Amino acid sequence: MAVTTFDTGAREITVKDLIARGVYSVIALLEGAAYAVADYRSRRATAAQLYALSDEMLADIGLTRDTIDEALARR
């Protein structure tokens, strides 16, 4: 069985190498998307908990209702 190769100047790259790189790129993309979704859900859960606190409790930790989203964006 012949393996198709491409001459890139530096070294030959096989079709198998190109497929492996493509698969790796897709996996990295999916991992990044999963991380982004998990991070979003974590921030929303934290925001819900903070919004449930009284104004006095928020003041104790140095926040107001207006600054909750800003504080989470810096996290």
Q: Do residues 58 and 69 make contact, with C-beta atoms less than 8 angstroms apart?
A: no
Q: The pTM is what?
A: 0.65
In the chain, where the domains are located: 5-73
Q: Which pLDDT belongs to residue 10?
A: 65
Which residue stretches of the chain have pLDDT < 70? 1-10
- Of all residues in the chain, what percent are helix, strand and coil, respectively (each to 5)? 70, 10, 20
**How far apart (Å, rounded) are the C-alpha atoms in residues 15 and 17?**
5
Q: Which pLDDT belongs to residue 74?
A: 84
Q: Do residues 45 and 72 make contact, with C-beta atoms less than 8 angstroms apart?
A: no
